[in-house]
Amino acid sequence: MIITILVWVGALLLVFQAAIGLSFLISCIWEKEERASLFAALQFLGMLGLVLFFFYLKAIDFFETTTGASLLVAGFVVAGGAVFFLVRRTAPNQKALQGTRGLIVGEVERFDERAQVFARNRSIPPGSEQYGRFYKDHPELEEYDSARRNRGGPLGHVGSIDSSSGTPNVAATLAALSIPLHLSRPEQYHPQQHPEFKGNKVDLSLQEATQRVKGYALMLGADMVGITEINPFWVYSHRGEIFNENWEDWGTEIELTHKYAVVIAEEMDFRMVSTGPHTPTVIESMRNYAKGAFISTQLAAFIANLGYSATANHLRHYDTMLVPLAVDAGLGETGRLGYLVTKTYGPRIRLSAITTNLPLIPDKPIDNGVEDFCKICKKCATCCPSKSIPLDGQEPFNGTLRWKLNEETCFEYWGKVGTDCCVCMRVCPWGHATTLPHLLIKWIVSRNSISRRIFSAMDDIFYGKKPRSKDAPAWAGFGKKTGSNESTT
Ligand code: SF4
Ligand code: SF4
Protein backbone atom coordinates (compact mmCIF):
# COMPACT_ATOMS: atom_id res chain seq x y z
CA MET A 1 0.00 0.00 0.00
CA ILE A 2 2.75 2.47 0.99
CA ILE A 3 4.67 1.63 -2.17
CA THR A 4 1.56 2.25 -4.29
CA ILE A 5 1.12 5.67 -2.69
CA LEU A 6 4.82 6.44 -3.20
CA VAL A 7 4.60 5.39 -6.84
CA TRP A 8 1.71 7.77 -7.49
CA VAL A 9 3.31 10.63 -5.55
CA GLY A 10 6.54 10.01 -7.49
CA ALA A 11 4.65 10.00 -10.78
CA LEU A 12 2.90 13.27 -9.90
CA LEU A 13 6.17 14.93 -8.88
CA LEU A 14 7.88 13.80 -12.08
CA VAL A 15 5.01 15.13 -14.20
CA PHE A 16 5.18 18.38 -12.21
CA GLN A 17 8.93 18.80 -12.84
CA ALA A 18 8.40 18.06 -16.54
CA ALA A 19 5.66 20.71 -16.60
CA ILE A 20 8.12 23.22 -15.10
CA GLY A 21 10.65 22.18 -17.76
CA LEU A 22 8.05 22.71 -20.47
CA SER A 23 7.07 26.13 -19.10
CA PHE A 24 10.76 27.12 -19.12
CA LEU A 25 11.08 25.96 -22.74
CA ILE A 26 8.01 28.02 -23.70
CA SER A 27 9.45 31.00 -21.84
CA CYS A 28 12.78 30.71 -23.71
CA ILE A 29 11.01 30.48 -27.08
CA TRP A 30 8.86 33.52 -26.18
CA GLU A 31 12.04 35.38 -25.19
CA LYS A 32 13.50 34.48 -28.62
CA GLU A 33 16.54 33.04 -26.86
CA GLU A 34 17.79 30.47 -29.39
CA ARG A 35 20.57 29.03 -27.26
CA ALA A 36 18.45 28.86 -24.11
CA SER A 37 15.59 27.30 -26.11
CA LEU A 38 17.91 24.55 -27.33
CA PHE A 39 19.15 23.71 -23.85
CA ALA A 40 15.64 24.03 -22.40
CA ALA A 41 14.37 21.61 -25.08
CA LEU A 42 17.10 19.10 -24.19
CA GLN A 43 16.32 19.50 -20.52
CA PHE A 44 12.61 19.02 -21.14
CA LEU A 45 13.22 15.90 -23.26
CA GLY A 46 15.32 14.48 -20.42
CA MET A 47 12.53 15.21 -17.93
CA LEU A 48 9.91 13.73 -20.24
CA GLY A 49 12.08 10.64 -20.74
CA LEU A 50 12.24 10.24 -16.99
CA VAL A 51 8.44 10.39 -16.73
CA LEU A 52 7.98 7.81 -19.51
CA PHE A 53 10.63 5.53 -18.03
CA PHE A 54 8.97 5.80 -14.61
CA PHE A 55 5.58 4.80 -16.07
CA TYR A 56 7.25 1.95 -17.95
CA LEU A 57 8.76 0.67 -14.68
CA LYS A 58 5.37 0.99 -13.04
CA ALA A 59 3.72 -0.93 -15.89
CA ILE A 60 6.13 -3.86 -15.48
CA ASP A 61 5.55 -3.80 -11.67
CA PHE A 62 9.22 -3.06 -11.07
CA PHE A 63 8.37 -1.09 -7.92
CA GLU A 64 6.72 -4.20 -6.47
CA THR A 65 10.13 -5.87 -6.33
CA THR A 66 12.54 -5.31 -3.43
CA THR A 67 15.07 -3.60 -5.73
CA GLY A 68 12.41 -1.39 -7.28
CA ALA A 69 10.97 -0.37 -3.93
CA SER A 70 14.47 0.40 -2.58
CA LEU A 71 15.27 2.52 -5.64
CA LEU A 72 11.97 4.35 -5.29
CA VAL A 73 12.66 5.21 -1.65
CA ALA A 74 16.24 6.19 -2.52
CA GLY A 75 14.90 8.43 -5.31
CA PHE A 76 12.64 10.20 -2.81
CA VAL A 77 15.51 10.71 -0.39
CA VAL A 78 17.87 12.08 -3.07
CA ALA A 79 15.22 14.34 -4.67
CA GLY A 80 13.97 15.53 -1.27
CA GLY A 81 17.52 16.29 -0.18
CA ALA A 82 18.22 18.22 -3.39
CA VAL A 83 15.05 20.29 -3.01
CA PHE A 84 15.85 20.92 0.64
CA PHE A 85 19.35 22.21 -0.16
CA LEU A 86 18.05 24.36 -3.01
CA VAL A 87 15.23 26.11 -1.16
CA ARG A 88 16.25 26.20 2.47
CA ARG A 89 16.66 29.78 3.70
CA THR A 90 20.10 30.37 5.12
CA ALA A 91 20.98 33.18 7.53
CA PRO A 92 20.08 36.52 5.97
CA ASN A 93 22.66 39.08 4.95
CA GLN A 94 22.50 41.45 7.93
CA LYS A 95 24.21 44.22 5.96
CA ALA A 96 21.48 44.09 3.31
CA LEU A 97 18.78 44.19 5.95
CA GLN A 98 20.19 47.52 7.16
CA GLY A 99 19.83 49.00 3.69
CA THR A 100 22.45 51.60 2.79
CA ARG A 101 23.40 51.97 6.47
CA GLY A 102 24.85 48.46 6.22
CA LEU A 103 27.25 49.69 3.52
CA ILE A 104 28.61 52.69 5.40
CA VAL A 105 32.22 52.16 6.45
CA GLY A 106 33.46 55.73 6.86
CA GLU A 107 32.60 59.36 6.47
CA VAL A 108 30.06 60.00 3.73
CA GLU A 109 29.99 63.33 1.93
CA ARG A 110 26.81 64.41 0.22
CA PHE A 111 27.19 64.41 -3.54
CA ASP A 112 27.24 67.76 -5.32
CA GLU A 113 24.85 67.69 -8.28
CA ARG A 114 27.11 70.15 -10.12
CA ALA A 115 29.72 67.40 -10.44
CA GLN A 116 27.25 64.98 -11.97
CA VAL A 117 28.07 64.27 -15.62
CA PHE A 118 24.77 65.51 -17.05
CA ALA A 119 24.91 68.71 -15.04
CA ARG A 120 28.49 69.29 -16.16
CA ASN A 121 27.50 68.86 -19.75
CA ARG A 122 24.15 70.59 -19.83
CA SER A 123 24.22 73.18 -17.16
CA ILE A 124 27.60 74.87 -17.35
CA PRO A 125 27.82 76.84 -20.62
CA PRO A 126 31.42 77.63 -21.60
CA GLY A 127 32.28 81.25 -20.87
CA SER A 128 29.59 81.63 -18.20
CA GLU A 129 30.32 82.71 -14.64
CA GLN A 130 29.29 79.22 -13.47
CA TYR A 131 31.80 77.68 -15.89
CA GLY A 132 34.64 79.71 -14.39
CA ARG A 133 33.61 78.83 -10.84
CA PHE A 134 33.20 75.11 -11.48
CA TYR A 135 36.40 74.44 -13.42
CA LYS A 136 38.46 76.57 -11.04
CA ASP A 137 37.57 73.94 -8.44
CA HIS A 138 37.76 70.99 -10.88
CA PRO A 139 40.51 71.80 -13.40
CA GLU A 140 41.07 68.08 -14.05
CA LEU A 141 37.62 67.83 -15.65
CA GLU A 142 37.73 70.79 -18.04
CA GLU A 143 39.44 69.20 -21.06
CA TYR A 144 37.51 66.01 -20.63
CA ASP A 145 34.13 67.74 -20.41
CA SER A 146 34.95 70.03 -23.29
CA ALA A 147 35.65 67.00 -25.53
CA ARG A 148 32.33 65.49 -24.46
CA ARG A 149 30.45 68.71 -25.24
CA ASN A 150 32.07 68.81 -28.68
CA ARG A 151 30.89 65.27 -29.26
CA GLY A 152 27.29 66.31 -28.52
CA GLY A 153 26.97 65.40 -24.83
CA PRO A 154 26.84 62.10 -22.96
CA LEU A 155 24.87 60.44 -25.78
CA GLY A 156 27.09 62.01 -28.44
CA HIS A 157 25.30 61.85 -31.77
CA VAL A 158 22.09 60.18 -30.60
CA GLY A 159 21.53 56.77 -32.18
CA SER A 160 24.89 56.71 -33.96
CA ILE A 161 25.36 52.95 -33.49
CA ASP A 162 22.47 52.20 -35.84
CA SER A 163 22.05 52.66 -39.53
CA SER A 164 19.95 55.46 -40.99
CA SER A 165 16.78 53.39 -40.60
CA GLY A 166 17.28 53.90 -36.88
CA THR A 167 16.36 57.58 -37.27
CA PRO A 168 12.71 57.04 -36.25
CA ASN A 169 14.12 55.54 -33.07
CA VAL A 170 16.01 58.75 -32.38
CA ALA A 171 12.75 60.62 -32.97
CA ALA A 172 10.99 58.35 -30.46
CA THR A 173 13.82 58.74 -27.94
CA LEU A 174 13.78 62.51 -28.03
CA ALA A 175 9.98 62.64 -28.08
CA ALA A 176 9.93 61.23 -24.56
CA LEU A 177 11.99 64.18 -23.33
CA SER A 178 9.06 66.52 -23.93
CA ILE A 179 7.09 65.17 -20.96
CA PRO A 180 9.69 65.58 -18.16
CA LEU A 181 10.71 68.99 -19.49
CA HIS A 182 7.12 70.24 -19.21
CA LEU A 183 7.15 69.11 -15.59
CA SER A 184 10.46 70.71 -14.69
CA ARG A 185 9.20 73.99 -13.22
CA PRO A 186 8.87 74.37 -9.43
CA GLU A 187 5.08 74.76 -9.53
CA GLN A 188 4.89 71.36 -11.22
CA TYR A 189 7.44 69.27 -9.36
CA HIS A 190 6.57 71.01 -6.09
CA PRO A 191 2.84 71.69 -6.52
CA GLN A 192 0.64 73.84 -4.33
CA GLN A 193 -2.56 72.47 -2.90
CA HIS A 194 -5.57 72.87 -5.19
CA PRO A 195 -7.78 75.84 -4.01
CA GLU A 196 -10.66 73.40 -3.52
CA PHE A 197 -8.99 72.25 -0.30
CA LYS A 198 -8.75 75.80 1.14
CA GLY A 199 -5.34 75.15 2.67
CA ASN A 200 -6.63 72.41 4.95
CA LYS A 201 -4.98 69.13 5.84
CA VAL A 202 -6.98 66.01 5.13
CA ASP A 203 -7.18 63.91 8.27
CA LEU A 204 -5.62 60.49 7.61
CA SER A 205 -4.17 57.83 9.88
CA LEU A 206 -0.61 56.66 9.15
CA GLN A 207 -1.96 53.40 7.76
CA GLU A 208 -4.50 55.05 5.52
CA ALA A 209 -2.07 57.66 4.19
CA THR A 210 0.43 54.91 3.37
CA GLN A 211 -2.16 52.71 1.75
CA ARG A 212 -3.59 55.56 -0.33
CA VAL A 213 -0.21 56.86 -1.51
CA LYS A 214 1.06 53.41 -2.45
CA GLY A 215 -2.21 52.37 -4.05
CA TYR A 216 -2.42 55.56 -6.09
CA ALA A 217 1.19 55.17 -7.27
CA LEU A 218 0.47 51.63 -8.45
CA MET A 219 -2.73 52.73 -10.12
CA LEU A 220 -0.84 55.49 -11.94
CA GLY A 221 1.45 52.86 -13.46
CA ALA A 222 4.22 52.15 -10.94
CA ASP A 223 5.28 48.50 -10.85
CA MET A 224 6.88 48.77 -7.41
CA VAL A 225 6.58 51.36 -4.67
CA GLY A 226 8.40 51.63 -1.36
CA ILE A 227 8.72 54.20 1.39
CA THR A 228 11.75 55.23 3.42
CA GLU A 229 12.76 57.89 5.89
CA ILE A 230 15.31 59.95 3.99
CA ASN A 231 18.91 59.48 5.02
CA PRO A 232 20.38 62.99 4.50
CA PHE A 233 23.50 61.44 2.91
CA TRP A 234 21.41 60.77 -0.20
CA VAL A 235 20.28 64.37 -0.64
CA TYR A 236 22.39 66.31 -3.16
CA SER A 237 24.42 69.01 -1.44
CA HIS A 238 24.07 71.67 -4.19
CA ARG A 239 21.83 72.23 -7.19
CA GLY A 240 23.58 71.52 -10.49
CA GLU A 241 20.95 70.79 -13.15
CA ILE A 242 19.44 73.88 -14.78
CA PHE A 243 16.64 73.58 -17.32
CA ASN A 244 14.64 76.79 -17.22
CA GLU A 245 17.33 79.47 -17.28
CA ASN A 246 17.01 79.63 -13.48
CA TRP A 247 20.74 80.25 -13.12
CA GLU A 248 20.33 81.75 -9.68
CA ASP A 249 19.65 78.17 -8.49
CA TRP A 250 22.95 76.76 -9.76
CA GLY A 251 25.21 76.05 -6.81
CA THR A 252 22.60 76.78 -4.14
CA GLU A 253 22.63 74.46 -1.18
CA ILE A 254 19.80 71.92 -1.15
CA GLU A 255 18.08 71.88 2.20
CA LEU A 256 15.42 69.24 2.16
CA THR A 257 12.98 69.40 5.05
CA HIS A 258 10.96 66.39 3.92
CA LYS A 259 11.28 63.33 6.13
CA TYR A 260 9.99 60.65 3.75
CA ALA A 261 10.60 59.46 0.22
CA VAL A 262 8.12 57.41 -1.78
CA VAL A 263 10.23 55.58 -4.35
CA ILE A 264 8.72 54.22 -7.54
CA ALA A 265 10.12 51.63 -9.93
CA GLU A 266 8.73 51.00 -13.40
CA GLU A 267 9.60 47.88 -15.36
CA MET A 268 11.41 48.43 -18.65
CA ASP A 269 10.12 46.33 -21.50
CA PHE A 270 12.13 43.13 -21.78
CA ARG A 271 12.17 43.08 -25.60
CA MET A 272 13.37 46.66 -25.91
CA VAL A 273 16.13 46.18 -23.33
CA SER A 274 17.23 42.96 -25.03
CA THR A 275 18.45 45.02 -28.01
CA GLY A 276 21.02 46.94 -25.93
CA PRO A 277 23.17 48.83 -26.86
CA HIS A 278 20.97 49.62 -29.88
CA THR A 279 18.44 52.43 -30.08
CA PRO A 280 15.30 50.56 -28.92
CA THR A 281 16.82 50.34 -25.47
CA VAL A 282 17.21 54.12 -25.16
CA ILE A 283 13.64 54.62 -26.43
CA GLU A 284 12.56 52.43 -23.54
CA SER A 285 14.74 54.23 -20.99
CA MET A 286 13.33 57.57 -22.04
CA ARG A 287 9.77 56.27 -22.10
CA ASN A 288 10.24 55.18 -18.50
CA TYR A 289 11.74 58.50 -17.47
CA ALA A 290 8.69 60.21 -18.99
CA LYS A 291 6.40 57.78 -17.20
CA GLY A 292 8.24 58.38 -13.92
CA ALA A 293 7.83 62.14 -14.39
CA PHE A 294 4.09 61.67 -14.94
CA ILE A 295 3.60 59.38 -11.94
CA SER A 296 5.77 61.33 -9.51
CA THR A 297 4.30 64.71 -10.50
CA GLN A 298 0.73 63.50 -10.13
CA LEU A 299 1.54 61.82 -6.83
CA ALA A 300 3.19 65.03 -5.54
CA ALA A 301 0.04 66.98 -6.54
CA PHE A 302 -2.10 64.38 -4.76
CA ILE A 303 -0.08 64.79 -1.55
CA ALA A 304 -0.22 68.58 -1.89
CA ASN A 305 -4.02 68.30 -2.05
CA LEU A 306 -3.91 66.31 1.19
CA GLY A 307 -2.35 69.42 2.71
CA TYR A 308 1.30 68.39 2.82
CA SER A 309 4.42 69.45 1.00
CA ALA A 310 5.75 67.09 -1.68
CA THR A 311 8.36 67.28 -4.42
CA ALA A 312 8.54 65.05 -7.48
CA ASN A 313 12.02 63.74 -8.27
CA HIS A 314 12.29 62.81 -11.93
CA LEU A 315 14.49 63.28 -14.99
CA ARG A 316 14.17 67.05 -14.87
CA HIS A 317 14.41 67.61 -11.14
CA TYR A 318 16.33 65.67 -8.53
CA ASP A 319 16.93 66.67 -4.92
CA THR A 320 17.92 63.14 -3.99
CA MET A 321 19.89 60.13 -5.25
CA LEU A 322 17.31 57.52 -6.07
CA VAL A 323 19.23 54.22 -5.98
CA PRO A 324 20.20 54.47 -2.27
CA LEU A 325 16.70 55.68 -1.41
CA ALA A 326 15.23 52.70 -3.29
CA VAL A 327 17.49 50.32 -1.33
CA ASP A 328 16.33 51.87 1.95
CA ALA A 329 12.71 51.68 0.75
CA GLY A 330 13.05 47.92 0.32
CA LEU A 331 12.76 47.80 -3.47
CA GLY A 332 15.99 45.85 -3.97
CA GLU A 333 19.74 45.87 -3.46
CA THR A 334 22.60 47.52 -5.30
CA GLY A 335 24.26 45.12 -7.71
CA ARG A 336 27.77 44.97 -9.11
CA LEU A 337 26.61 47.04 -12.07
CA GLY A 338 25.73 49.96 -9.79
CA TYR A 339 21.99 49.88 -10.52
CA LEU A 340 19.23 48.81 -8.18
CA VAL A 341 18.60 45.06 -8.62
CA THR A 342 15.00 44.18 -7.80
CA LYS A 343 13.78 40.65 -7.20
CA THR A 344 11.11 40.66 -9.90
CA TYR A 345 12.67 42.75 -12.68
CA GLY A 346 16.36 42.74 -11.74
CA PRO A 347 18.00 45.99 -12.90
CA ARG A 348 15.46 46.32 -15.76
CA ILE A 349 13.69 49.27 -14.12
CA ARG A 350 13.80 53.06 -13.91
CA LEU A 351 13.23 55.04 -10.74
CA SER A 352 11.45 58.20 -9.74
CA ALA A 353 10.39 59.44 -6.30
CA ILE A 354 8.42 61.91 -4.23
CA THR A 355 9.82 63.45 -1.10
CA THR A 356 7.24 64.65 1.39
CA ASN A 357 6.44 65.66 4.96
CA LEU A 358 3.25 63.58 4.91
CA PRO A 359 3.77 61.05 7.72
CA LEU A 360 3.98 57.54 6.23
CA ILE A 361 4.99 54.04 7.35
CA PRO A 362 8.45 53.24 6.01
CA ASP A 363 9.26 49.86 4.46
CA LYS A 364 12.22 47.78 5.52
CA PRO A 365 15.31 47.05 3.40
CA ILE A 366 15.41 43.52 2.02
CA ASP A 367 17.88 40.71 1.40
CA ASN A 368 17.33 38.79 -1.84
CA GLY A 369 20.88 37.48 -1.99
CA VAL A 370 21.94 39.99 -4.65
CA GLU A 371 25.28 40.83 -3.02
CA ASP A 372 26.23 37.15 -2.78
CA PHE A 373 24.98 36.43 -6.32
CA CYS A 374 27.00 39.33 -7.72
CA LYS A 375 30.15 38.01 -6.04
CA ILE A 376 29.70 34.78 -8.03
CA CYS A 377 28.24 36.06 -11.30
CA LYS A 378 30.25 39.02 -12.72
CA LYS A 379 28.43 38.76 -16.06
CA CYS A 380 27.78 42.51 -16.33
CA ALA A 381 31.48 43.19 -15.75
CA THR A 382 32.68 40.70 -18.36
CA CYS A 383 30.13 41.91 -20.93
CA CYS A 384 30.52 45.66 -20.35
CA PRO A 385 31.94 47.01 -23.63
CA SER A 386 33.90 49.75 -21.84
CA LYS A 387 35.06 47.62 -18.91
CA SER A 388 33.52 50.14 -16.53
CA ILE A 389 32.22 47.60 -14.02
CA PRO A 390 34.76 46.17 -11.55
CA LEU A 391 35.50 42.45 -11.69
CA ASP A 392 36.94 42.33 -8.20
CA GLY A 393 35.41 42.89 -4.76
CA GLN A 394 33.60 45.85 -3.27
CA GLU A 395 35.77 48.74 -2.15
CA PRO A 396 35.22 51.77 0.07
CA PHE A 397 34.16 54.82 -1.89
CA ASN A 398 32.96 58.02 -0.22
CA GLY A 399 32.45 56.13 3.04
CA THR A 400 30.42 53.28 1.54
CA LEU A 401 31.49 49.78 0.56
CA ARG A 402 30.40 48.98 -2.99
CA TRP A 403 31.28 48.05 -6.51
CA LYS A 404 32.23 51.39 -7.99
CA LEU A 405 31.18 51.87 -11.57
CA ASN A 406 33.55 53.98 -13.62
CA GLU A 407 30.92 56.47 -14.78
CA GLU A 408 33.33 58.39 -16.97
CA THR A 409 34.29 55.41 -19.17
CA CYS A 410 30.68 54.23 -19.18
CA PHE A 411 29.56 57.63 -20.52
CA GLU A 412 32.42 57.57 -23.01
CA TYR A 413 30.87 54.44 -24.44
CA TRP A 414 27.41 56.03 -24.46
CA GLY A 415 28.95 58.86 -26.47
CA LYS A 416 30.34 56.36 -29.00
CA VAL A 417 27.12 54.45 -29.56
CA GLY A 418 24.66 57.32 -29.05
CA THR A 419 22.48 55.36 -26.64
CA ASP A 420 22.49 54.59 -22.93
CA CYS A 421 23.89 51.13 -23.78
CA CYS A 422 22.11 48.98 -21.17
CA VAL A 423 24.27 45.93 -22.00
CA CYS A 424 24.84 45.33 -18.28
CA MET A 425 21.11 45.53 -17.66
CA ARG A 426 20.40 43.20 -20.59
CA VAL A 427 22.78 40.41 -19.54
CA CYS A 428 21.99 40.39 -15.81
CA PRO A 429 20.40 37.06 -14.83
CA TRP A 430 18.02 38.92 -12.49
CA GLY A 431 16.69 40.86 -15.46
CA HIS A 432 15.28 37.94 -17.44
CA ALA A 433 11.72 38.23 -18.70
CA THR A 434 9.05 38.35 -16.00
CA THR A 435 7.73 34.85 -16.72
CA LEU A 436 6.71 32.23 -14.15
CA PRO A 437 9.80 29.98 -14.53
CA HIS A 438 12.14 32.95 -14.11
CA LEU A 439 10.18 34.18 -11.08
CA LEU A 440 10.50 30.70 -9.57
CA ILE A 441 14.25 30.68 -10.20
CA LYS A 442 14.64 34.15 -8.67
CA TRP A 443 12.76 32.98 -5.60
CA ILE A 444 15.02 29.90 -5.26
CA VAL A 445 18.14 32.02 -5.81
CA SER A 446 17.10 34.37 -3.02
CA ARG A 447 17.11 31.45 -0.55
CA ASN A 448 20.74 30.38 -0.22
CA SER A 449 24.25 30.44 -1.58
CA ILE A 450 24.22 26.91 -3.05
CA SER A 451 21.30 27.73 -5.33
CA ARG A 452 23.03 30.98 -6.36
CA ARG A 453 26.09 29.04 -7.47
CA ILE A 454 24.04 26.46 -9.36
CA PHE A 455 21.79 28.96 -11.14
CA SER A 456 24.63 31.35 -11.96
CA ALA A 457 26.41 28.45 -13.71
CA MET A 458 23.17 27.40 -15.40
CA ASP A 459 22.64 30.94 -16.66
CA ASP A 460 26.02 30.75 -18.38
CA ILE A 461 25.09 27.40 -19.94
CA PHE A 462 21.61 28.40 -21.10
CA TYR A 463 22.23 32.03 -22.12
CA GLY A 464 25.98 32.02 -22.67
CA LYS A 465 28.70 33.90 -20.83
CA LYS A 466 28.28 36.80 -23.25
CA PRO A 467 24.64 36.81 -24.32
CA ARG A 468 23.96 38.44 -27.66
CA SER A 469 21.62 41.32 -28.24
CA LYS A 470 18.39 40.62 -30.05
CA ASP A 471 16.34 42.22 -32.79
CA ALA A 472 13.73 44.79 -31.94
CA PRO A 473 9.98 44.68 -32.46
CA ALA A 474 9.33 45.70 -36.10
CA TRP A 475 8.15 49.23 -35.20
CA ALA A 476 11.48 49.92 -33.47
CA GLY A 477 13.73 48.21 -36.05
CA PHE A 478 17.22 49.62 -36.24
CA GLY A 479 18.28 48.45 -39.68
CA LYS A 480 20.85 45.94 -38.66
CA LYS A 481 20.96 42.32 -37.62
CA THR A 482 22.42 41.72 -34.21
CA GLY A 483 24.66 38.82 -33.34
CA SER A 484 27.52 39.90 -31.19
CA ASN A 485 28.05 41.33 -27.76
CA GLU A 486 28.28 44.66 -29.62
CA SER A 487 31.60 45.74 -28.22
CA THR A 488 32.71 48.74 -30.19
CA THR A 489 35.53 49.74 -27.94
S1 SF4 B 1 25.09 40.62 -14.04
FE2 SF4 B 1 25.60 39.33 -12.29
S3 SF4 B 1 27.20 40.50 -11.22
FE4 SF4 B 1 26.15 41.92 -12.59
S5 SF4 B 1 24.55 42.86 -11.35
FE6 SF4 B 1 23.62 41.12 -12.42
S7 SF4 B 1 23.82 39.43 -10.95
FE8 SF4 B 1 25.22 41.04 -10.28
S1 SF4 C 1 25.80 50.97 -19.51
FE2 SF4 C 1 27.17 49.82 -20.92
S3 SF4 C 1 29.13 50.86 -20.77
FE4 SF4 C 1 27.93 51.49 -18.99
S5 SF4 C 1 28.47 50.06 -17.38
FE6 SF4 C 1 26.64 49.21 -18.38
S7 SF4 C 1 27.49 47.84 -19.95
FE8 SF4 C 1 29.15 49.17 -19.31
Segment 120-131 mean pLDDT:
82
Mean pLDDT on 379-395: 97
- Closest C-alpha residue for ligand 2 atom 6: 424
pLDDT in tens, 21-37: 999 999 999 999 999 99
Average pLDDT, the chain: 93
> Is the CB of residue 103 below 6 angstroms from any atom belonging to ligand 1?
no
pLDDT tens digits, 364-378: 999 999 999 999 999
What percent of the chain clears pLDDT 90, i.e. is strictly above it? Answer: 83
Residue nearest to ligand 1 atom 1, measured at CA: 428
Q: What is the pLDDT of residues 38-60, one digit of tens each?
A: 999 999 999 999 999 999 999 99
**Confidence grade of residue 144 (pLDDT, cut at 50, 70, 90):** confident
Can you say whether residue 11 is alpha, beta or left, with left for phi > 0 and alpha for psi between -120 and 50 degrees? Answer: alpha
Mean pLDDT over 144-167 rounds to 83
405: CA distance to ligand 2 center in Å?
A: 9
The sign of the torsion formed by the CA atoms of 433, 439, 444, 446 equals positive
- Across the range 93-113, mean pLDDT stands at 96
Residue 480 has pLDDT above 80, yes or no: no
For 299-319, what is the mean pLDDT? 97
The residue whose CA has the least distance to atom 6 of ligand 1 is 428
CA 416 to centroid of ligand 1, rounded, Å: 24
* Entry pTM: 0.93
pLDDT digits (tens, 9 = 90+) for 402-453: 999 999 899 999 999 999 999 999 999 999 999 999 999 999 999 999 999 9
Q: Write down the pLDDT at residue 483.
A: 45
Q: Give the number of the atom of ligand 2 that is nearest the alpha carbon of residue 338.
A: 5
pLDDT of amino acid 488: 38
Work out which ligand 2 atom sits closest to the CA atom of 389: 5
pLDDT for the residue 489: 36
How would residue 190 be classed by pLDDT, with cut points 50, 70 and 90? Answer: very high
371 CA distance to ligand 1 centroid (A)? Answer: 9
d(CA 262, CA 363): 10
Which protein residue has the closest C-alpha to ligand 1 atom 4?
Answer: 380
pLDDT band at 484 (very low <50, low <70, confident <90, very high): very low
Quote the distance between the C-alpha of residue 411 and its chain's center: 18
